[in-house]
Amino acid sequence: MNRSLELIASSKLQFILKGMLLWFFLLSRAIVAPGQTESLPEKVVITSLNQKTQVRTNENRELQVNVSQKDVQRFKTRGWVRYSDFGARGDGKTDDMDAIAGAHAFANQHGLPVKANEGATYYIGGKERTAVIRTNTNFGTAAFIIDDTEVQNRNASIFLVSSSLQPFPLKGVSSLKRNQEKIDGSLPGPCLITVANSQVKHYIRFGLNQNNGAAQTDIFIVDKNGKVDMDAPIIWDFDQITDISALPIDEKPLTITGGRFTTIANKAESKYTYYSRNIAIKRSNVLIDGLEHRITGEGDHGAPYGGFLYIRDCAFVTVKNTILTGHKTYSTIGAAGKPVSMGTYDISANRALNVSFINCSQTNDINDRTNWGILGSNYCKNMLYDRCVFSRFDAHMGVANATIRNSTLGHMGINAIGSGTLTVENSTIRGNTLVNLRSDYGSTWQGEFVIRNCIFVPAGGRPSSASLIGGSYSGLHDFGYTCYMPERIIIENLHIDDSNHPENYQGPAIFSNFNPEMTDDSYQEKFPYIKTREVILRNVTTASGKALRISDNTFMFRNVKVEVQ
């Protein structure tokens, strides 16, 4: 089996998948005999009656796919199916969604790859229909027009990359500890474990989008003996568990290649009614290669998008050689009753491990501040940008370990909270700060920053007083956890292009002013902030010629040890 380093950090995946009893969890798919029917979970009924091959919708909006016995044998002998086999016109005008979904349903049943017709343009209207992908799919040079102007169900994905393996409740685990190396019990093979404690609230958000937090959540991988993959460790203590499940990890890679997708943007009211007309990836061990997504029809208002590539509840997903598009930013009234810009994404990752973006870019200007940052993520571990040109990297509700290398990030830069190691190397960052610790989640990072061989262009070259590590923390809000600054920050071979700076510029600061009210010992934090212990600097240069200093708030960071080597 070919597992490139780019797809799965191969050696790790080979190790955890060794000995997997995949057959135990496969859903059986018997070959349909003449006159027999089979109901599939995606509301598709496949028959092989003595009639022509066709796809239609019944009165219950279920898809009925009939494939003649002659065509069944022809497709199996050929070894793949294409959309035109199931009636897709590919003329850019006829709604081909039912034919596309029918082709995938038949292919899933027989384990056949799917190919789009070269040069075709498939129009996908607003009806509620999702094509489930469980076999290799080659979109090739075909174009797909996704019309979101009139949509029956904005939450219905266009494609769902799905596994035949099913999650199951995990018995006998009543508590967990941070960095625990093994859980009790025997499993059929490597599994993705998702655990929650609804009695503990984390990520109690502060600011214009304030909320009451989310249930304590973690996600990690174990082998068949319950041994935890310590490259993505358990990051919380769970004194109580209210829900825990195991999802077997697919051993065989699934590959999706090509495709030129264009979304005609919705014209809905500008409020938090996210659109999910996307490619949802809810299967482990997936490669997306050579896809393109563009957006047209954005006007002066619209609802936000939750991500054209939506990666959730899975591990080992790689997106490479792919071109995406940043969405126009719209505003609404937030939870605090004040206007707020709405996050809107072309990529989202939630409860996902070992997710990599390699040699990817976006169609629009990464420095265009009218467009929102392209990525949003929650509860992820081991995220990678390599050779990417994107407007931002972002981790909302925590990332454990993230790497950005050989990349250029635009106006929204690096925004993150989390734990483990954040590594930024051989990259150019054009955000307001080199790394922004999100203040709405406590500006917290429990671990280390390693920054090497980078160029920092503060605020994309606009006049600014540069600082490397940004954030804000009053010590008066309970985020549901203790908040940390990175314990150690290593910065090596960094050039700060602060040539365009304001008058009275004192030089770049390591830390921005996290709390302007904390100027002496009289200020008391109700929820104390654990400050950085050590900063190690090696060959940090500035275009202005001014030396790097600690912060505008020297009191707050008075105990930080700065070592220049």
Where are any strands of DSSP class E within 210-305?
A: 214-222, 243-248, 254-264, 279-282, 286-289, 292-296
Residue 59 DSSP class: T
| Domain assignment of residue 124, yes or no | yes
| Domain assignment of residue 50, yes or no | yes
| Domain assignment of residue 277, yes or no | no
Instruction: Quote the number of domains for the chain.
Output: 1
> Measuring CA to CA, which residue among 6, 399, 420 is closest to residue 230?
420
56: alpha, beta or left? (left if phi > 0; alpha if psi -120 to 50): beta
Range of the domain at 89: 27-162
With beta carbons less than 8 A apart as the criterion, state whether 280 and 155 touch.
Answer: no
| Domain assignment of residue 443, yes or no | no
| Domain assignment of residue 339, yes or no | no
| Domain assignment of residue 69, yes or no | yes
pLDDT at 42: 61
3-state secondary structure of 85: helix
**Which two structure tokens, joined as six digits, stand for 305?**
């998008």
3-state secondary structure of 3: coil
pLDDT tens per residue across all 565 residues of the chain: 343 334 334 444 444 444 333 333 333 332 232 233 333 446 899 999 888 999 999 888 889 999 999 999 999 999 999 999 999 999 999 999 999 999 999 999 999 999 999 999 999 999 999 999 999 999 999 999 999 999 999 999 999 999 999 999 999 999 999 999 999 978 999 999 999 999 999 999 999 999 999 999 999 999 999 999 999 999 999 999 999 999 999 999 999 999 999 999 999 999 999 999 999 999 999 999 999 999 999 999 999 999 999 999 999 999 999 999 999 999 999 988 999 999 999 999 999 999 999 999 999 999 999 999 999 999 999 999 999 999 999 999 999 999 999 999 999 999 999 999 999 999 999 999 999 999 999 999 999 999 999 999 999 999 999 999 999 999 999 999 999 999 999 999 999 999 998 989 999 999 999 999 999 999 999 999 999 999 999 999 999 999 999 999 999 999 999 999 9
pLDDT at 145: 98
pLDDT at 8: 39
| Domain assignment of residue 500, yes or no | no
pTM over 0.85: yes
| Domain assignment of residue 262, yes or no | no
Distance CA 138, CA 253 (A): 14
Burial of 503 (0-12, 13-18, 19+ CB in 10 A): exposed
